């Protein structure tokens, strides 16, 4: 997908909203030129830091298995040049990995997360809420998986400014109405001081002294998340996927992007700027964006 299609701020207006659109099922999973290297990074993280990137709660096994089966069916159907199943064995032709499905039956979502670039969060219906019950998240954006496990959607988003009064009811309503054959997707974005995909720690306050108008294009990265939500028909769980892409700001900046990004940042409430850590480098960033509009691509 072209970068311009994934930039939520291109309309030059800040608005806190779900921004959900209907998702065509063939486009559920995306595979791009970073496929092999990102799967290798996932493999490394799951080996070196397993408790930080995968977690599951008792009782989620059936929904995990359903999610894995749905994903494998999708991959075999839409990406037959990359995936092949031979009985109990699933082959990834790009990486050469072979997975024995029965050996991973205990934590099926763990295997699901190793097959694709997307991170996966499984939310199970419980007492009128949807609770994060299993997840493979190798590429978190300033949050830690273990702190979110077992929480309902509203509590997961509690740190988001104005979520309760603006988004909680629409999100709950969407989850209740979501049908298996009608998934949705949305975009999310942030500006970060690192090009690393695995980014669980909060933004260090030291960036305020490090980032200037002269180096902001090299010191900042645009982090874009393509998020999808899909109902699992049997368990009624909701599978939430996150495909993360990271772009060094100077590599993508154009006068038009600089203008729209500057307008959005200027309209963004101070509480949101603080939540996104933009307040730490706001002045330097706006000065950089002003220069980019005047001088063209920097």
Model confidence over 219-232: pLDDT tens digits? 999 999 999 999 99
The answer to whether 128 touches 84, Cβ cutoff 8 Å, is no
The answer to whether 90 touches 101, Cβ cutoff 8 Å, is yes
Model confidence over 131-151: pLDDT tens digits? 999 999 999 999 999 999 999
**What is the mean predicted confidence (pLDDT) over 270-282?**
92
Model confidence over 229-244: pLDDT tens digits? 999 999 999 999 999 9
Token pair of 223, please?
Answer: 């982090």
Query: Structural domain of residue 205, as residue ranges?
Result: 3-295
Model confidence over 170-187: pLDDT tens digits? 777 888 888 998 999 988
Number of structural domains, the chain? 1
Supply angle C-alpha 224, 225, 228, rounded to 5: 155
Full-model pTM: 0.93
pLDDT at res. 213? 95
**What is the mean predicted confidence (pLDDT) over 162-169?**
72
From CA 120, how far away is CA 139, in angstroms rounded? 10
* pLDDT band of 32, cuts 50, 70, 90: very high
């Amino acid at each position: 997908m072209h970068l311009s299609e994934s930039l939520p701020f291109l309309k030059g207006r800040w608005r806190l909203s779900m921004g959900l659109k209907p998702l065509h099922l063939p486009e559920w999973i995306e595979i791009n030129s970073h496929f092999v290297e990102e799967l290798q990074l996932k493999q490394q993280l799951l080996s070196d830091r397993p408790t930080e990137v995968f977690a599951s709660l008792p009782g989620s096994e059936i929904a995990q298995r359903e999610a894995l089966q749905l994903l494998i069916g999708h991959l075999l159907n839409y990406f037959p040049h990359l995936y092949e199943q031979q009985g109990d064995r699933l082959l990834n032709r790009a990486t050469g990995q072979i997975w024995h499905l029965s050996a991973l039956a205990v934590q099926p979502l763990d295997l699901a997360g190793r097959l694709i670039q997307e991170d996966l969060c499984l939310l199970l219906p419980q007492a009128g809420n949807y609770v994060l019950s299993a997840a493979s998240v190798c590429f978190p954006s300033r949050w830690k998986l273990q702190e979110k496990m077992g929480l309902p959607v509203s509590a997961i988003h509690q740190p988001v400014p104005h979520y309760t009064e603006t988004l909680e009811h629409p999100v709950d309503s969407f989850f209740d109405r979501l049908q298996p054959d009608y998934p949705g997707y949305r975009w999310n974005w942030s500006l970060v001081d690192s090009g690393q995909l695995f980014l669980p720690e909060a933004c260090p306050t030291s960036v305020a002294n490090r980032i200037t108008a002269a180096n902001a294009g090299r010191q900042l990265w645009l982090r874009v998340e393509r998020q999808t939500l899909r109902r699992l028909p049997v368990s009624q769980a909701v599978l939430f996927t996150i495909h993360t892409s990271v772009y060094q700001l100077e590599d993508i900046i154009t006068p038009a992007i600089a203008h729209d990004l500057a307008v959005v940042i200027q309209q963004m409430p101070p509480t949101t700027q603080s939540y996104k850590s933009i307040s730490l480098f706001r002045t330097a960033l706006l000065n950089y964006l002003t220069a980019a509009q005047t001088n063209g691509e920097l």
